[in-house]
Structure 1
Amino acid sequence: MYLARFQGLPRYEPEGKRPPSPDSSGCAYSESGDETGPFAVLTFTDLSVASEMQALLAASCKYSELAPGVTKVETLARERGWQAWTATKEAGVHEAQVCTGSHIYNASLSNIPGTVPEDALETILAVIR
């Protein structure tokens, strides 16, 4: 997986299993679950399952204005018709979101030396490809 290029990110399974969800899933990599250290999270949601939450998520894919610091990824929109953005929310926290129409993917990379917002996007694209 794309995250393998970053050292010190073993897969972390939180104690106490979450109940399975038919419409979303995710995984986290960190040093013993410590969110103040290097941390990576990848989640996806199936937008074809009808629910209020999926409707809100789908609506977030159709934004017309972006918040400051958020960059729309034009190549994915042009080449595949997807909506995507990258951002740095705070020092050392890079995020990306990709909406394919049927699914929404989110990635967050925190406190991983040498990463940039595009690394969060590449994490998502590695899963989709």
Structure 2
Amino acid sequence: MQLRGAAGLAVITLSLSGCAPLLPMIHPSPAPSPSSSGPSGKIPVTGQPSAQFCENAGTYLSKFPDLPLYGPHPETQEATGFLSCWYTVDGDPYHPRVTLEALTLKNDDDRAVFTEQCDGGKLGPGTVKIIANWTQDRHWSAWIAAHDSSYSEAILCTPDQIYTASVTYVPGATADDALATIMAAID
């Protein structure tokens, strides 16, 4: 279990550092919205993962008929403070997929690792900072990026949590949907 948590941390670290897997570049999609308010205007209050973290994200993602909905069972946060949900066809990197991850920042060392990412939004080209009252009022930071028409991602940082979502090969999905997936999954 310790190795699994460390592997998850490595995945998040690589994802957040911009070392995401190379995907074919198609053409840029429209710029993401810097004032995104999430699904149906839902704005989280506490910033904590909901008790139905994967299920709530899956409910939001059900609007994409090409995306198989899958969440790990049981939905419990490991002792490492890492949650992960995958919505995809198992093992096929070129089919529609969404990944959603949450990591609890337990101490100052954890927070230091992600400070640059959360404060600077290092998602790579196409990154847009979310400037909205719901982030500023809570001292949260959120970033979205549309890297090309087939791959976008979002990050949301609260004082205690870091959330990431990536959306790949999902027809009609945007970087706003990556952020909306996170927002649907948290309270």
Q: Given the two structures, how large is their TM-score scaled by the length of structure 1?
A: 0.81
Structure with the bigger percentage of strand: 1
Q: How many residues align?
A: 122
Per chain length, whose mean CA-contact separation is higher, i.e. which structure has more relative contact order (CA < 8 Å, sep 6+)? 2
Tell me, which stretches of 5 or more residues in structure 2 are unaligned? 1-58, 73-77
Check 1:54–1:21 CA distance in 2 against 1; reply closer, same or farther (3 A cut): farther
Tell whether 2:68 aligns with 1:9: yes
Structure with the bigger percentage of helix: 2
Check 1:46–1:112 CA distance in 2 against 1; reply closer, same or farther (3 A cut): same
Q: Is the 8 A contact 2:143 2:154 kept in 1?
A: yes
Tell whether 2:119 aligns with 1:62: yes
Amino acid across the alignment from 1:29: Y
Q: Please report the RMSD computed on the Cα atoms of aligned residues, expressed in angstroms.
A: 2.3
Question: Displacement of 1:60 after TM fit?
Answer: 1.7
Tell me, which stretches of 5 or more residues in structure 1 are unaligned? 14-19
Counterparts of 1:51 and 1:101, CA distance in 2: 11
Q: Is the 8 A contact 1:12 1:30 kept in 2?
A: no
Aligned to 1:73: 130
Counterparts of 1:26 and 1:65, CA distance in 2: 21
Percent of aligned positions that are identical: 31
Question: Displacement of 1:80 after TM fit?
Answer: 2.5
Counterparts of 2:121 and 2:89, CA distance in 1: 37
Aligned to 2:150: 92
Task: Select between 87-96 and 119-128 the one with higher mean Cα deviation.
Answer: 87-96
